[in-house]
Structure 1
Amino acid sequence: MKHFDAGDYQEAYDEFRRSLALKKTKAAMAQAASCLRQLGRYDEALDQYEEVLREYPNLPARFGADVATAMAELSRLVGTLEMAGDAPPGGSLFVDDRLRGKLPLSEPLRVAVGTHRIRVDKDGFEPITAVVDVLAGQKSVAELRASVRKGRLSVSERHNWVLTVELDGKEVGVTPWEGLVEPGEHQVRLRGFVGLDALAECSAPEAGAAAARDRARMASPAQAAVVRPFEVTRVMLGAEEQDASLRIESTPSGARLTIDGKAVGLTPWEGRLPLGEHALEVSARGYVRSRQPVQLVRRKQRELSVVLEREPDLAEIRRLRNVMVGVSYGVGALGLGVFAVTGSMALAKVRDIKSRCGGTSCPESERANVDAAADLGTLATAGLMMGAAGVGGGTSLLFGLDLRRIERRGGAGPGGSQAAGEVAWTVGIGPGGFAIEGRF
C-alpha cells in the first residue's frame, strides 16, 4: 500500500501478486485490479475485477458496490479485438509486446481503448504485424497481412541417409532439409549415392566418415506434398536402390512407355529403376498394346525390344462379314426354295401313286414313279439341310462375331501376344469357303 500511495503502481502490483500467490483474499485481488487500472491496463483490470466476483460471489454490500462502480468505469475504457487475414493457427499473439494467447482466439480479445501494435509470431516464419485502433465498447478487427506468404516444407529420408532433395525438378539441398516454399502442391524426390556397407546395414553414414568407394545409386519415387500458408508440411521418403539400368526400343519408334503404371516418355527410352520386377506397357496409335514384366538385377543393364502388332482392320472385317452373311443367307434361301419345290412335287407324286395303286402294294409298272418320288424326297431333305445350314451360318456370323470386342482388344503380352481374357479374331476367304480363327 505504501507503493500504491506513492504512485509506484507497478511495484505495488508486483507485491500484490506475490501476496496473492501465498494467500488469496478479496481485498488483495481488488487492490491488484486498482493497480492495473492506474497503469492504464484497463482490460486486465476489468478481468481482475471479474475474477473477484467469481471467487467471492457474496461480497459485502459496500465492497460489492465499489467493485461494480469500478467495472462500470472500466467498461467505457475497453473494446474488443478480433484477428482477420493471415492468422496462422498456433501463432503467438502479442498486443503491444504483451503475449495475449495463441491463435485462433476462442473469443474476441478485450483490450484498452487506443492504438495498439499487433504481432503474431510462429516458429519458422516471419512475424506478421499490424496496427489497429480500438474504440470503447466496440469490436475492432486487426487485418493481418504477411510480407511473405509461404509454407514450410520439411523433407527427411526414412533411413537417415544423406541424399539430394529435388523440389519440382530442382535441387534445393540434402536431407534432412527444410525451407519456405510457395503454397500449393509440389513434387518431392530424393536421389544420390549410399555406401554399400551402410546400405546393407540400413544405417546412416557416420559423421565425418570418408566417402565410400563402393556406392549404390539411390532414389525415391516422386511424392506430392501439399503446402499450406504458415503451416509445416513434413514428408518422409524411402529411397530405393537404383543401381540397374533399362533401355527399351520399339517398332514403331516413338511409342508411349509406361512403367509400373506411370508414363515415363516415348521410345527409345533409357533410365535407372529400382531393383526387382517392373510392369512395362508400350502403346502406339493403330497398334496393339504390349504389356510385359521385366526383372532388373544389381549393376546390370537390361535391353528390351518390343515389336507391336497392327490392330485389325475392322472395316475390312466388317465388309467380309457382311459378304459372308449375304452368301450364307442366299444359300439358305436357295436350300429352302429347293426344299419347298421338291417337297411339294414329292408329295404330289406320292398322292398320285396312292390313287392309282388303291391298296398297300403297287404293280411293277409303278416302280419308276415310286423311285422318282423317293428322289424328290431326298432332294427336298437335302434342300432343307442346306437352307438350315445357310440361315444358321449367316446368323452366327451376324451376331457371333463381336467387332466391338475386337476393337477393344489390345492388352498384348510379350512380343505383342494377347493378354489373358481377351480375344483376337482373323477372318479369311478362299475358293469354296471361309474361315474364322481366334486366340483365347
Structure 2
Amino acid sequence: MIGRRGELVRSLRSFRSRTLAGWILALGLLDFGARAAPAAPPGKASPGTAPQAAVSSEEAEARAQFEAGVARFDKQEYREALEAFRRSLWLKKNRNTMGYIASCLKQLGQYEDALEQYEEMRREFPQMPSKIEAMVAADMAELSGLVGTLAVTGDAPVGASLFVDDRLRGRLPLEKPLRLSAGRRAVRVEKEGFAPLTMTLEVRAGQENVAELVAKSRKGRLVVNEKHNWVLHVELDGKNVGVTPWQGLVDLGEHKVRLRGFMGVEALAACEAPGAAAEEGAKVASGVEAASVRLYEETRVVLVAEEQDASLRVESTPEGAVLMIDEGQVGLTPWEGRLPLGEHMIEVSAVGFFSAKQTVQLERRKQRELSVLLERQSGPLSDAHAARNRKIGAGLAYGVGVAGLGVFAVAGGLALDKVAWLNAHCPDKQCPSTETRNQNAAATLGTAATVGLVVGGLGLAAGTAVLLLTRPGRGERRAGPSVSASVGLGGFEVEGRF
C-alpha cells in the first residue's frame, strides 16, 4: 500500500513538471489512490485502518481506466490517455479525471475543448479547494489567450448545421460566438435540400473572426400541394414544371403558382385522390397564388382546385367591349372561356356607352351564352364631344381640299405660261433642242396641277360628307335628305341632314 502510494506521488511530480493540470489534480490524486486500493475481506479490517465498503465492478473499471490514462499521460501519449480518461469519466464522474482530460486536450492543441472541459468541471464541482480553483483559473486564462471566436454572417441559412474542420459545432444562428483554436479552419454550413456553403478562415487568437458566407446558387425551395391531394399539373410563372405534390429549387423573389388538370368523374364525386394525373374527365383548376421565395428557405403553398367544367360565351353590341368577370378584366367581346361553377358577376363596358352588369349562374357541364346590348350615352357632354369631333374632321378635310386647289391654281398658271412660251418659239409645234427643258417643265407643272385638282376635290367632298353624316338632327327627322349652303364674310358652311 505504501509502495503504491509512493509510486503515485512520483508520477504526480513528473506530471506537475509538464502541465498546470498536475497542480490542479494533485490534492485529489492521493485520495483517489487510497480509494483505489483493494478492500479488506468482509469482517477483517486491515491493521490501523477503518473498514472500507465493497467496490462495485463499475467503479473498479473506472479506476482501472483512470490508472491506464495516467500511465499513457506519463509517456506523453496524450491521445491514448484522453481516450482512457474519457472511458473512466463515462463510468464515474470524477473531478480528477476531468482535470486530466482538460490537460490532454491542451497538450493536443485543442484549446477551446480544454476550456470547455474546465468550465464543465467548475459546474460539476463548484466547491473545489481554493488552491485547485486558483490553478484552474490560471490555466483557463492561459488557454483564453490561445483561442479566438467565430461569428457566422452573410447568406447563412437559419437552422443550418455548422461544421468546423468536419466537426459539428452547432446550428445557426449561434447563441454566442464560437471559440476556436488559432489557425486555419475549414468552415462548412449545411442545410438539407440545399448545396453546402464552404470557406476557409484564418482564426486569430484573442480576436473575433467573422465567416461571411456567400451562396453561389441563390435559390430557395418551393413546395406545392393540392388541398385534396389531387394529382394536378403545376404551373410556375406560366410554365408547366410537374405535378403535385411538387417541390424544387427556384430563383428568389415572387412567383405565380397555379394548378390545372382533369379529374375522373367518379373520383371527383367521391373526393378520392388519384395515383397519377388524369388526361381526361372533368376539368379542374385553382386560382393563381403568389409565393415569395427566400434564400435557403422553404416556402410551402397549398392550393384548392375546383371543377371548371362549365363554359361561358359573352357577346355584345357593339363588339370589342371590355369584359370584366368578378371584378377582373378577362378580355374583349366576343369572349369564350371556362369558369368555376357557381355565381359570377359580368360587366361589359365601351366608350360612349353605358356599362351593363349582370349576374350569371354556371352549372356543371353546361355552356351559358350571354348577349349584351349596350345603350349609347346622350346628353350635353356627349353632344359637345361629337360636335367637336365633327368640326375637327371637317376642318382637316376642307384644309386638305383647299391646299389641293391651291396647288392646282399655282401649278396650272405656271403650266399655261410655259405652253404659251413654247407656242411662240416652236412654229408648227416643232421645238428646237434648246427648248427641251421648257417642254419638260410644262409637262411636270401640268401633272402637279392635275394632282392638286384631284386632291382638292376629294378634300372638299370628304369635309362635306363629315358635316352631312355626323350632324345631329334638330327636332324630328324629315322623310328625305336636305342640304343647305351659305356663304358670308369670312366663312363658308354646308349643312345637311338625313
Query: 1:29 and 1:311 mapped to 2: Cα distance?
Result: 95
Give the corresponding residue for 2:358.
292
Give the corresponding residue for 2:183.
114
Give the corresponding residue for 2:99.
30
Give the corresponding residue for 1:157.
226
Work out whether residues 193 and 215 of structure 1, in 8 Å CA contact, stay in contact via their aligned partners in 2.
yes
Query: 1:4 and 1:149 mapped to 2: Cα distance?
Result: 50
Give the corresponding residue for 1:372.
none
Query: 2:340 and 2:83 mapped to 1: Cα distance?
Result: 67
Work out whether residues 261 and 278 of structure 2, in 8 Å CA contact, stay in contact via their aligned partners in 1.
no
Q: How far is 1:228 from its partner?
A: 0.9
1:47 paired with 2:116, answer yes
Query: 2:351 and 2:201 mapped to 1: Cα distance?
Result: 65
Unaligned runs of 5+ in 1: 320-428, 432-440
Q: How far is 1:318 from its partner?
A: 10
Q: How far is 1:262 from its partner?
A: 2.3
Structure 1: which amino acid aligns with 2:208? K
Q: How far is 1:212 from its partner?
A: 6.9
Query: 2:184 and 2:377 mapped to 1: Cα distance?
Result: 78
Work out whether residues 248 and 269 of structure 1, in 8 Å CA contact, stay in contact via their aligned partners in 2.
yes
Give the corresponding residue for 2:338.
272
Give the TM-score normalised by structure 1.
Answer: 0.68
Q: Which of 228, 244, 252 is the equivalent residue of 1:183?
A: 252
Work out whether residues 254 and 291 of structure 2, in 8 Å CA contact, stay in contact via their aligned partners in 1.
yes
1:73 paired with 2:142, answer yes
Of 118-127 and 295-304, more deviation after overlay is shown by: 295-304
Q: How far is 1:173 from its partner?
A: 0.4
Q: List per-residue Cα deviations over 1:66-97 (Å, max 9, x = no partner).
A: 21222122111100111111011011111111
Query: 1:315 and 1:179 mapped to 2: Cα distance?
Result: 58
Q: Which of 344, 348, 353 is the equivalent residue of 1:282?
A: 348
Query: 2:261 and 2:267 mapped to 1: Cα distance?
Result: 13
Gap change, CA 1:256 and 1:66, over 3 Å in 2: same
Q: What is the DSSP-based 3-state SS (H/G/I as helix, E as strand, rest coil) of the residue aligned with 1:306? A: strand
1:246 paired with 2:315, answer no
Give the corresponding residue for 1:17.
86
Query: 1:20 and 1:267 mapped to 2: Cα distance?
Result: 84
Structure 1: which amino acid aligns with 2:271? C
Query: 1:313 and 1:54 mapped to 2: Cα distance?
Result: 92
Structure 1: which amino acid aligns with 2:254? E
Q: How far is 1:276 from its partner?
A: 1.5
Q: How far is 1:102 from its partner?
A: 0.7
Bigger fraction of residues in helix: 2
Query: 2:303 and 2:163 mapped to 1: Cα distance?
Result: 37
Work out whether residues 257 and 283 of structure 1, in 8 Å CA contact, stay in contact via their aligned partners in 2.
yes
Give the corresponding residue for 1:200.
269
Q: Which has the higher contact order (CA 8 A, sep 6+)?
A: 1
Q: List per-residue Cα deviations over 1:141-186 (Å, max 9, x = no partner).
A: 1010111111100001111111100001000000000001111111
Q: List per-residue Cα deviations over 1:255-274 (Å, max 9, x = no partner).
A: 22222222222222221111
Q: List per-residue Cα deviations over 1:264-293 (Å, max 9, x = no partner).
A: 222222211111211122223333222211
Structure 2: which amino acid aligns with 1:136? A
Gap change, CA 1:299 and 1:46, over 3 Å in 2: same
Q: How far is 1:316 from its partner?
A: 6.4
Structure 1: which amino acid aligns with 2:369? E
Q: Which of 370, 376, 393 is the equivalent residue of 1:310?
A: 376
1:86 paired with 2:122, answer no
Gap change, CA 1:314 and 1:87, over 3 Å in 2: farther
Give the corresponding residue for 1:217.
283
Give the TM-score normalised by structure 2.
Answer: 0.60
Structural RMSD (CA):
2.4
Q: What is the DSSP-based 3-state SS (H/G/I as helix, E as strand, rest coil) of the residue aligned with 2:312? A: strand
Query: 1:13 and 1:135 mapped to 2: Cα distance?
Result: 26
Give the corresponding residue for 1:169.
238
Q: How far is 1:317 from its partner?
A: 8.6
Gap change, CA 1:32 and 1:185, over 3 Å in 2: same
Work out whether residues 130 and 145 of structure 1, in 8 Å CA contact, stay in contact via their aligned partners in 2.
no
Q: List per-residue Cα deviations over 1:35-89 (Å, max 9, x = no partner).
A: 2222222111111112222332332233223212221221111001111110110
Work out whether residues 261 and 279 of structure 2, in 8 Å CA contact, stay in contact via their aligned partners in 1.
no
Query: 1:213 and 1:82 mapped to 2: Cα distance?
Result: 54
Query: 2:278 and 2:195 mapped to 1: Cα distance?
Result: 40
Work out whether residues 187 and 225 of structure 1, in 8 Å CA contact, stay in contact via their aligned partners in 2.
yes
Q: How far is 1:214 from its partner?
A: 6.7
Give the corresponding residue for 2:201.
132
Gap change, CA 1:214 and 1:73, over 3 Å in 2: closer
Q: What is the DSSP-based 3-state SS (H/G/I as helix, E as strand, rest coil) of the residue aligned with 1:31? A: helix
Q: List per-residue Cα deviations over 1:314-360 (Å, max 9, x = no partner).
A: 436999xxxxxxxxxxxxxxxxxxxxxxxxxxxxxxxxxxxxxxxxx
Gap change, CA 1:214 and 1:92, over 3 Å in 2: closer
Of 108-117 and 262-271, more deviation after overlay is shown by: 262-271
Give the corresponding residue for 2:173.
104
Q: Which runs of 4+ in 1 moved over 4 A?
A: 211-214, 316-319
Give the corresponding residue for 1:360.
none
Gap change, CA 1:213 and 1:106, over 3 Å in 2: closer
**Which of structures 1 and 2 has the bigger CA Rg?**
2
Query: 1:250 and 1:27 mapped to 2: Cα distance?
Result: 95
Give the corresponding residue for 2:495.
none
Query: 1:264 and 1:247 mapped to 2: Cα distance?
Result: 12
Structure 2: which amino acid aligns with 1:274? P
Q: Which of 293, 312, 320 is the equivalent residue of 1:227?
A: 293
Query: 1:199 and 1:152 mapped to 2: Cα distance?
Result: 30
Gap change, CA 1:289 and 1:10, over 3 Å in 2: farther
Q: List per-residue Cα deviations over 1:224-258 (Å, max 9, x = no partner).
A: 11111111000111111111111222223222222
